[in-house]
Amino acid sequence: MHRDSDRYRMFSRRSAIFLGGQVVLLSGLGARMYYLQVIEADRYRTLANENRISLKLLAPPRGLIVDRFGRPLAVNRQNYRVMLTPENVGDLDQTLDRLATIIPIGPNERQRIRREIKRRRRFNPIIIRENLEWNSVARIEVNAPELSGIGIDVGESRHYPGGTAVAPILGYVSGVSEKERNGDPLLELPGFRTGKAGIEKTQDLALRGSAGTSQVEVNAFGREIRELQRLEGQPGAEARLTIDIELQHFVTRLLGDNSGSAVVIDIHSGEVLAMASTPSFDSNAFNRGLSRQEWRDLVSNPRAPLNNKAIVGQYAPGSTFKMVVALAALEKGVMTPRSRVFCTGEIESGDSTFHCWKKTGHGSMDMMSGITQSCDVYFYEVARRTGIDRISAMARRLGLGARLGIELPGEKPGLMPTRKWKKRAKGVSWQQGEILLAGIGQGFLLATPLQLAVMISRLTNGGRAVEPRIMRQLVSFGAPEPEPGAAPLFPGIGVNRNHLRLIGRAMAAVTNSPMGTAYRARIHNPEFRMGGKTGTVQVRRITKAEREQGVRKNTELAWHERDHALFVGFGPVKAPRYALSVVVEHGGGGSSTAAPIARDILTEVQRRDPSRGRAAGILRPAAAGSSEG
What's the CATH number where 539 sits?
A: 3.40.710.10
Other C-beta atoms closer than 10 Å to the C-beta of 323 total 25
In a domain, residue 27? The reply is no
Q: CB under 8 Å to 20, separation ≥6 — which residues?
A: none
Domain limit, last residue, from 185, 216, 241: 241
Asked if 542 and 612 sit in the same domain, the reply is: yes
Number of domains forming the structure of the chain: 2
> Which residues span the domain enclosing 451?
245-284+307-477+488-616
In a domain, residue 60? The reply is yes
In a domain, residue 24? The reply is no
pLDDT digits (tens, 9 = 90+) for 207-224: 998 887 766 665 555 555
Domain limit, last residue, from 241, 266, 298: 241
Q: Please say whether the beta carbons of 424 and 488 come within 8 A.
A: no
Asked if 361 and 428 sit in the same domain, the reply is: yes
Q: Provide the H-helix boundaries in 87-233.
A: 92-100, 107-119, 134-142, 167-170, 198-202, 204-208
In a domain, residue 442? The reply is yes
Burial of 187 (0-12, 13-18, 19+ CB in 10 A): middle
In a domain, residue 342? The reply is yes
Asked if 455 and 470 sit in the same domain, the reply is: yes
- Span 120-127, mean pLDDT? 71
Asked if 258 and 120 sit in the same domain, the reply is: no
Q: Is the dihedral of CA 274, 478, 201, 165 positive or negative?
A: negative
Asked if 227 and 311 sit in the same domain, the reply is: no
Q: Please say whether the beta carbons of 333 and 510 come within 8 A.
A: no
Can you give the length of the chain in residues? 629
In a domain, residue 366? The reply is yes
- Span 100-112, mean pLDDT? 85
pLDDT score, position 374? 97
Asked if 199 and 128 sit in the same domain, the reply is: yes
> Where residue 125 sits, what CATH number does that domain have?
3.90.1310.10
Longest dimension (CA), the chain: 153
Domain limit, last residue, from 223, 241, 259: 241
Q: Which residue has the higher pLDDT, 561 or 511?
A: 511
Asked if 124 and 268 sit in the same domain, the reply is: no
Q: Which residue has the higher pLDDT, 481 or 534?
A: 534
In a domain, residue 212? The reply is yes
Asked if 235 and 250 sit in the same domain, the reply is: no
Asked if 199 and 341 sit in the same domain, the reply is: no
Asked if 351 and 218 sit in the same domain, the reply is: no
pLDDT score, position 242? 97
Asked if 372 and 461 sit in the same domain, the reply is: yes
Asked if 442 and 403 sit in the same domain, the reply is: yes
pLDDT digits (tens, 9 = 90+) for 36-69: 666 666 655 554 555 556 666 778 899 999 999 9
Q: CB under 8 Å to 559, separation ≥6 — which residues?
A: 586
Q: Provide the H-helix boundaries in 214-353.
A: 245-255, 283-288, 292-300, 309-312, 322-332
Peptide bond into 337 cis (omega under 30): no
Q: Please say whether the beta carbons of 225 and 205 come within 8 A.
A: no
In a domain, residue 119? The reply is yes
pLDDT digits (tens, 9 = 90+) for 562-580: 899 999 999 999 999 999 9
Catalytic residue numbers read: 319
